[in-house]
Amino acid sequence: MLSVKMIVIALFLGVLFGFALNKAGLTKYHKIVNQFRLTDFTVLKFMMTALVVTMIGVYPLRELGVITFPAIPETYVLGNLVGGLVFGVGMALAGFCPGTAMAGAGEGKWDYIVPGLLGFLTGAVLFGLTYSSFMPQLKAIGNYGNVVLPDLWHISPYLAVFVFALMALVLFYLIDRVGMHRKEKKD
Amino acid sequence: MNWLKQQINKELWSPYVAGALLGIVGILTVVLAHALLGASGGFENLAAYIGKAISPNNMYFNFMMKAEITYPVILLVGIFFGGMLGALSSGTFKFRTMDSEQWKKAYGKQTWKRWLLLFVGGIIVEFAAGVAGGCTSGLAISGGMLLAPAAFLFIGGMFASGIVTALIVYGKKY
C-alpha cells in the first residue's frame, strides 16, 4: 500500500509533469508529428533541456552520497532498440505517447480520453499476456543490467555530464541558428 | 508580478523553459520519491486488473506488474490534472472530440478515423513501451537523465521509425 505521503508526492510530481507537457505544447498532434517531419524541434529541445538540467542536479548529489539512483532502466540492447522502433511508428501515427496523452486528456480531449486510454490498456494487456513467450529471451540479448554510461565506461560522471550538456548546446545552436530544421511546405 | 503571471499563463512556453521545469521535476522525483517519472508503467498496473480476469495465473500480472494502485498510477492521475491546470491557466480547456487542423489535412476530417487510429496507435505505443522497458517518460527522459544506455537506444529507434512513418503518411507533403 502507498503511504499518504507518497500519494501526495506522486500527485505533486505528476501535476508538474503534466503542466510542463501542456506548456511545451506536446499534447498537440502537430507538435509531435512535426518533430518527425523535422519542421518543429520542440520535442527534442524540451527533452534535451530536461535531461541536461536533471543530470546536472542528480549526478553531483550521487557523488556526494546524498542520493542513490532509483530503478535505473535496464539495458538490453536489442529489446530497447526494437521497442523504440515500434514505439516510433505508433507515436508518429497517433501524435501522442502515454504521458502526453494523459496530459491531453486533462485538457478535455475526448479522443485522448476514450480511444487513446483504451488503446494503452489494450496494449498493456496484450504485452502482459505474451510477456513470458518472448521477453525473457529478448532481455537476455546484449544485457548490461541496470547500468549508467559513466559506470559502464569507467569515466568521470562529471565529464560525462559536461560532454552531454555540450552536445545539447551544439544541437540547440544547429537547430536555432544554423537552421537545421526544414521549412513547412506551402499548400 | 503581473508580468510573471502573464508569462506563466501563456498557452505555449519556450521549449527550453518547459524543459527546464521538467528537469527540476526530474531532480525532485529522485530526491523526494526515490523513484523516476513514467507513464506506461501505470497503464500496465491498471491493465493488470483486466489481464488477471482474462488469465488468472498469468505470471506477468501476478508477479511483475500487479493489479495495484501504485506510485506510477498516482503519477498518471497527477499528469491528467497537470494538463488540466495548464489548459485552464491559458483558457484553452475545452471538451472536444478532435481539434487538429493538421490531422484533418493528413487523414481527412472524419472523427471515427482519428478515434480508430488513436486506439491502434495507443496499442502499438504501449506494447512497444513494454518491450523497450519504458516509454518516452519512463525510459527516454527518466533513463536519459541518468545517462542509462537503454534510453539512448530507445530514442534512436523512436526517431528513426518515427521519421520513416511520417514520410509514409505525409508522402509528397512531408
- Best to test chain B binding among A22, A59, A177 (most B CBs inside 10 Å): A22
Q: Is B53 on the interface with A (CB under 8 A)?
A: no
- Pair B17, B90 in one domain: yes
Q: With CB atoms and an 8 Å threshold, state whether B84 touches A106.
A: yes
User: Closest to A58 (Cβ–Cβ): which among B13, B30, B93?
Assistant: B30
pLDDT band at A177 (very low <50, low <70, confident <90, very high): confident
The answer, yes or no, to whether residue B69 has pLDDT greater than 80, is: yes
Number of domains in chain B: 2
The answer, yes or no, to whether residue A187 has pLDDT greater than 60, is: no
User: Closest to B170 (Cβ–Cβ): which among A37, A53, A90?
Assistant: A37
C-alpha cell at A168: 545539447
Can you give the pLDDT at residue A186?
59
Q: Is B67 on the interface with A (CB under 8 A)?
A: no
Tell me A26's DSSP state: T
- Pair B62, B116 in one domain: no
- φ/ψ of B133, rounded to 5, equals 95, 20
The answer, yes or no, to whether residue A131 has pLDDT greater than 80, is: yes
Of B95, B111, B145, the one marking the end of a domain is B95
pLDDT band at B1 (very low <50, low <70, confident <90, very high): confident
Chain centre distance of CA A22: 15
Element (H, E) at A185: none
- Pair B140, B91 in one domain: no
- Pair B116, B30 in one domain: no
Tell me A76's DSSP state: E
Residue range A54-82: mean pLDDT, rounded:
96
Q: What number is the ipTM of this complex?
A: 0.96
> How many A-B residue pairs are in contact by the CB < 8 A criterion?
522
Chain centre distance of CA A153: 23
**Residues ≥6 apart with Cβ < 8 Å to A177:** none
Q: With CB atoms and an 8 Å threshold, state whether A90 touches B124.
A: yes
Chain B CB contacts of A72 below 8 Å: 143, 146, 148
Can you give the pLDDT at residue B173?
84
Residue range A132-146: mean pLDDT, rounded:
96
- Pair B151, B81 in one domain: no
Residue range B148-157: mean pLDDT, rounded:
98
Report d(CA B158, CA A116) in Å as an integer: 19
User: Closest to A87 (Cβ–Cβ): which among B94, B132, B141?
Assistant: B132
Q: What is the mean pLDDT of chain A?
A: 95
Can you give the pLDDT at residue A99?
97
The answer, yes or no, to whether residue A53 has pLDDT greater than 90, is: yes
Residue range A139-146: mean pLDDT, rounded:
97
Model pLDDT for residues B86-98, shown as the tens digit of each residue: 999 999 999 999 8
The answer, yes or no, to whether residue A56 has pLDDT greater than 80, is: yes
Q: Give percent of chain B with pLDDT exceeding 90.
A: 90
Q: With CB atoms and an 8 Å threshold, state whether A107 touches B115.
A: no
- Pair B45, B130 in one domain: no
Three-state DSSP class for A109? Answer: strand
HEC per residue, chain B? CHHHHHHHHCCCCCHHHHHHHHHHHHHHHHHHHCCCCCCHHHHHHHHHHHHHHHCCCCHHHHHHCCCCCCHHHHHHHHHHHHHHHHHHHCCCCCCECCCCHHHHHHHCCCHHHHHHHHHHHHHHHHHHHHHHCCCHHHHHHHHHCCCCHHHHHHHHHHHHHHHHHHHHHHHHHC
- Pair B125, B168 in one domain: yes
In one-letter notation, the amino acid at residue A142 is: G
Chain B CB contacts of A152 below 8 Å: 149
Model pLDDT for residues B118-145, shown as the tens digit of each residue: 999 999 999 999 999 999 999 999 999 9
pLDDT band at B46 (very low <50, low <70, confident <90, very high): very high
Tell me A72's DSSP state: P
Using the CB atoms, write b or e for A144-178: b if 16+ within 10 Å. eeebbbbbeeeeebeebbeebbeebeeebeebeee
Can you give the pLDDT at residue B99?
81
Of B69, B95, B121, the one marking the end of a domain is B95
Gap from A178 CA to chain B (nearest CA, Å) = 18
Nearest of A123, A91, A135, A125 to residue B127 by alpha carbon: A123
Q: What is the DSSP annotation of A119-150?
A: HHHHHHHHHHHHHHHHHHHHHHTTEEES--HH
Q: Is A31 on the interface with B (CB under 8 A)?
A: no
**In chain B, whose CA is at the least distance from the CA of A59?**
B146
Can you give the pLDDT at residue B174?
82
Element (H, E) at A75: strand A75-76
Gap from A74 CA to chain B (nearest CA, Å) = 6
pLDDT band at A98 (very low <50, low <70, confident <90, very high): very high
Three-state DSSP class for A65? Answer: coil
- Best to test chain B binding among A3, A5, A19 (most B CBs inside 10 Å): A19
Residue range B101-105: mean pLDDT, rounded:
92
Of B63, B95, B127, the one marking the end of a domain is B95
The reported pTM is: 0.95
- Pair B53, B107 in one domain: no
Q: Is A176 on the interface with B (CB under 8 A)?
A: no
Q: Is A138 on the interface with B (CB under 8 A)?
A: yes
Q: What is the mean pLDDT of chain B?
A: 95
Q: With CB atoms and an 8 Å threshold, state whether B166 touches A92.
A: yes
Q: Which domain holds residue B25?
A: 1-95
Q: In B, residues 108-167, which contact A (CB 8 Å cutoff)?
A: 111, 114-151, 153-166
Report d(CA A155, CA B67) in Å as an integer: 40
Residue range A39-65: mean pLDDT, rounded:
97
Residue with cell 486488473: B49
pLDDT band at A184 (very low <50, low <70, confident <90, very high): confident
